[in-house]
């Protein structure tokens, strides 16, 4: 299974340190933005999943910083839905300088599907599984 989505964003001044380089913690925020947009593009906005009683807490994350992401430079985040089995979901991310195509960072996040009411692990919603079959 592989579903790829591209998200574009331009780092804000507030995201950077004194050198004009995006602070390392912001990369995970960018991953979250890209993940949210991937779900929206699939037809399942995260807000809808929450309204239906599902949550996707983070269980593991990783980022490799290859080259600095700089203030006001348009970046492209390619998000790949790598795996969805049982209660687990894994996504990978690659951040590119959109102008040059140069790889700046890569990483992953792992999540578990849980019920909002009790935070117990659960299988993904049928809507999500049906969409995956169509992709």
Q: How far is CA 84 from CA 80, 125, 130, in A?
A: 11, 12, 12
Looking up tokens 């049982």 gives 86
Q: Of the listed 15, 17, 60, 98, which one is catalytic?
A: 17
17 is catalytic: yes
Token pair in block for residue 84: 């969805």
Sheet containing strand 103-112, edge to edge, reads: 3-9, 75-85, 88-97, 103-112, 58-65
Q: List residues with catalytic annotation.
A: 17
């Amino acid at each position: 299974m592989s579903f790829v989505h591209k998200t574009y964003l331009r780092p804000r001044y507030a995201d950077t340190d004194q050198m004009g380089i995006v602070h390392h913690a912001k990369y995970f925020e960018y991953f979250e933005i890209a993940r949210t947009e991937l779900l929206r593009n699939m037809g399942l906005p995260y807000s809808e999943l929450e309204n239906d009683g599902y949550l996707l807490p983070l269980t593991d994350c990783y980022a490799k910083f290859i080259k600095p992401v700089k203030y006001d430079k348009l970046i492209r985040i390619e998000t790949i839905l790598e795996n969805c089995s049982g209660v687990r979901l894994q996504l990978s991310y690659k951040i590119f300088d959109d102008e040059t195509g140069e790889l700046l960072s890569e990483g992953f996040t792992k999540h578990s599907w849980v019920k909002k009411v009790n935070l117990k692990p659960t299988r993904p919603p049928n809507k999500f599984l049906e969409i995956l079959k169509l992709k």
